[in-house]
C-alpha cells in the first residue's frame, strides 16, 4: 500500500532536496542554454537522486517530478542571466565566460578537497 504524506512532509522534502541538490550538483549539470540539463551526465547517476524517486513518497511522484522540472528551469534561467551579466561586465564572449566559470568551479572543488584532507589527515 502506498502511503500518502502530509503537505508539511512534502514541503520539507522539497526544501531539503532543493538545498542539497543545489549544493551537490549546481551548476555542473547545466550544459547549454537550449538544453540545460544533460540527462546522461555522470552527476545524475542512476536517477535515484531525483526527488520523485524518494522512497516513501511514491504517491506524490507526479507532483515531485513537476517540482523538479520547475526547479531545473529556474536554475537554468538564473544561470543564463548570470552568464549574460558577467559577459557584459567582462566584455568577453559567452563561451569564454563559461570556460572561466568551469575553471573557477574546478578550483573551488579542489579547495574543498584540500580542506577535507587537512581536517582528516593523521600526523
Cα gap 60→48, rounded to integer Å: 15
Q: What is the pTM of this model?
A: 0.64
CB atoms within 10 A of CB 17: 19
* Domain limits, the chain: 7-91
Report the percent of the chain where pLDDT is more than 70.
Answer: 76
Mean pLDDT of the chain: 81
Mean pLDDT of 11-40: 62
Mean pLDDT of 24-45: 44
CA angle 111, 26, 113 (to 5 degrees): 20
Report the percent of the chain where pLDDT is more than 90.
Answer: 57
Mean pLDDT of 8-22: 88
Amino acid at each position: 500500500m502506498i502511503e500518502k504524506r502530509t503537505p508539511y512532509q512534502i514541503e520539507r522534502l522539497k526544501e531539503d532536496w532543493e538545498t542539497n541538490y543545489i549544493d551537490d550538483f549546481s551548476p555542473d549539470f547545466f550544459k547549454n542554454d537550449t538544453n540545460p540539463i544533460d540527462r546522461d551526465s555522470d552527476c545524475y547517476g542512476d536517477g535515484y537522486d531525483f526527488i520523485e524517486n524518494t522512497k516513501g513518497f511514491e504517491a506524490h511522484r507526479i507532483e515531485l517530478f513537476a517540482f523538479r522540472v520547475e526547479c531545473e528551469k529556474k536554475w537554468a534561467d538564473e544561470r543564463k542571466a548570470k552568464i549574460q551579466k558577467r559577459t557584459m561586465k567582462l566584455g568577453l564572449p559567452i563561451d569564454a565566460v563559461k570556460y572561466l566559470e568551469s575553471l573557477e568551479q574546478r578550483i573551488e572543488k579542489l579547495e574543498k578537497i584540500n580542506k577535507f584532507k587537512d581536517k582528516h589527515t593523521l600526523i
